[in-house]
Amino acid sequence: MSIIYTRLGEVALRHDFYLDGIAKGIQLRPSLETAHLLKNGRILFKVTPGGAVLLYRAGEDEVSPISPLKVPLSFFFYLESENPAALLQITDLDEGSIKYDSSKLPFFTNSPAQASTDPSSPEILSYRLLDGTRPKNFSLDLKLNPTPTSVRIKIRNAKNEIISPGRSQTGEWLPDLTEVLPDSQGNFRFIFDLKGKREGVYTFTLRDEGDTTDLWTKKYFLADDISRKSLGLVEIRYENAPAHLYGPKEYYQLEFSSKESLWTYFVVNGNQKIDLLTNNLSIEDDGNEGSVPYGTYNFSQIGASPNADIKLNGKETVVFRSQSKIPYFEIPKLNLKLVKTPGNQVLIPSLPNPSRSAPTKDFGGETNTEIYVYI
C-alpha cells in the first residue's frame, strides 16, 4: 500500500526590507491545539525556506483524505523570530493609527472566500493588531474612569457567538451580561474561565449597567500554550462554504512592510575648519542607481547654522531632517551628499544610512531616526 501525501496549502513569508523579498529568520510554529488537530487529520506541517507547507494523507486517488477533518475550523501558527529585536527594528507593525507596542499581538488571517489556487497570485493575509494573548483561565484587575456603579460582561468568539465568562461558585455557567460591582476602592476584579473552549480570538466587552454603552473592549487570543517568544499569530480558516479544505492546493502570503522614519542628520564641525556663518551646508539627493526601492528625498535645515540650541561634544552642529519618511531596506540609500556653498563643494559624496540598531524617537507624532556625521 502506497503512502500518499497531497499538498493542502502553502504559506509564504515575505518582507520588503530584503532584496529578494523573502522574510529572513522568521518561521511558523503550530499552536498546541493546532498540532493536535493536524495529527488527528494526518496532516504534515513542514517549514520551508521562506514559509511553510501543509500536506494531508490521501487515499489511492490522491485526493480523498484518509482522516478528514470537520469544518469550520482554524489552524493557528505562532510567528517566531531568531532575532526579535532586529526584526522589530526594520518592520512596521502599526495598524494605521493604532501603534504597535509589546502588549499588542500582530495577527494575520485569511478570508476563505478569497482563497487562491494560483501560485503567482496568492491570497494576501489581512493584518490587524490584537490586544495580546491570554490563557483560557485568567484574572483581570481594572479601574475605569469615571467609576461606574456596575458593569456587565459580554464575551464573543470569532463567530460573534455569546460565550459565558465562567462558572459561578455553585458550578453553573454564568449568563451573558453578568453584573460585576466595584470594590470599595473603585476597582473591578474579574476571573474569566473559558477552559474547554477552542483556542481563538475572543472579544471581551464591559457594558454599562443599562447595557447601552461599551465602557471597555479588548480582543485577545486565548490558548493553552501561550508563547512568550511569539512575535505574532497567523490563522488559516476553513468554512463550510466555500468548502475548500481538501480542494486544490491554496496559496497564502504574509507580507511584512519595512519601517519608515524621518532621517535627521547631525553634522558636527569636528575640526572647526569650516566657518558655518559664512558657508552654507545642504544635503542633496542625486537619485538612485539601478533598480532600487528608494525614492528621491529632500532635506530641510532645522534651525540656524550653526544650530543655536544643539552642540555635540561642544562642537558647532548643523541639523537636517528629511521632509518625508524614508523606508529601511537591506541595500543602502546612496547618493545623499553633503554640499558646501559657495563653491558647490561636495564634502561627503554618500552620507551614511541609519544603523539598523539605532533607536527611533518620536518627533511631532512621526518616527525619527538620528544619524551623526563629523566633518
Q: Is the pTM of this model over 0.85?
A: yes
Q: Which domain holds residue 284?
A: 261-374
Are 167 and 204 within one domain?
A: yes
Q: Above pLDDT 70, what percent of the chain?
A: 100
Q: Do residues 122 and 246 share a domain?
A: yes
CA distance 328 to 234: 24
Instruction: Output 155 or 171, whichever has higher pLDDT.
Output: 155
Q: What is the pLDDT of residue 186?
A: 95
The one-character DSSP state at 61 is: T
In this structure, the answer to whether residues 282 and 201 fall within a common structural domain is: no
Q: Mean pLDDT score of the chain, rounded to an integer?
A: 94
Residues 40 and 169 in one domain: no
Give the C-alpha separation, 113 to 54, whole Å.
19
How many Å separate Cα 80 from the centre of its chain?
Answer: 12
Number of domains in the chain: 3
Does residue 81 sit in the same domain as residue 158? no
Please report which confidence band the pLDDT of residue 273 belongs to, taking 50, 70 and 90 as the band edges.
Answer: confident
- 356 and 305 inside one domain: yes
User: What is the rounded average pLDDT of the residues 344-350?
Assistant: 95
Greater model confidence, 122 or 313: 122
**Which one-letter amino acid corresponds to residue 348?**
I
Distance from the first to the final alpha carbon of the chain: 75
* C-alpha span between 309 and 316 (Å, rounded): 10
Q: Are 24 and 121 found together in one domain?
A: yes
pLDDT per position as a tens digit, 177-200 = 999 999 999 999 999 999 999 999
Taking the mean position of all CA atoms in its chain, how far away is CA 224?
A: 22
The 10s digit of each residue's pLDDT in 62-81 is: 889 999 999 999 999 999 99
201 and 341 fall within a common domain: no
Confidence of residue 1 (pLDDT cuts 50, 70, 90): low
Single-letter amino acid code for the residue at 118: D
Distance, in Å, from the CA atom of 279 to the CA atom of 78, rounded to the nearest integer, reads 56
d(CA 74, CA 111): 11
Please report the pLDDT score of residue 358 as a whole number.
77
- In this structure, the answer to whether residues 119 and 234 fall within a common structural domain is yes
Do 18 and 88 fall into the same domain? Answer: yes
Do residue 246 and residue 140 come from a single domain?
no
Quote the CA–CA distance of 373 and 265 in Å, as a whole number. Answer: 7
- Domain finish residue from 238, 258, 278: 258
Look up the CATH number of the domain holding residue 150: 2.60.40.1930
Report yes or no: 110 and 239 within 8 Å, Cβ to Cβ.
no
Same domain assignment for residues 213 and 176:
yes
Looking at residue 145, its pLDDT comes to 95
Distance (Å, rounded) from C-alpha 77 to C-alpha 284?
Answer: 46
Range with the poorest average pLDDT among 86-100, 170-184, 346-360: 346-360
Sheet holding 280-285: strands in order across? Answer: 280-285, 336-341, 345-348
DSSP string, 264-307: EEEEE-TT--S-TTTSEEEEEE----SS-S-----EEEESSSS-
How confident is the model at residue 226, as a pLDDT? 84
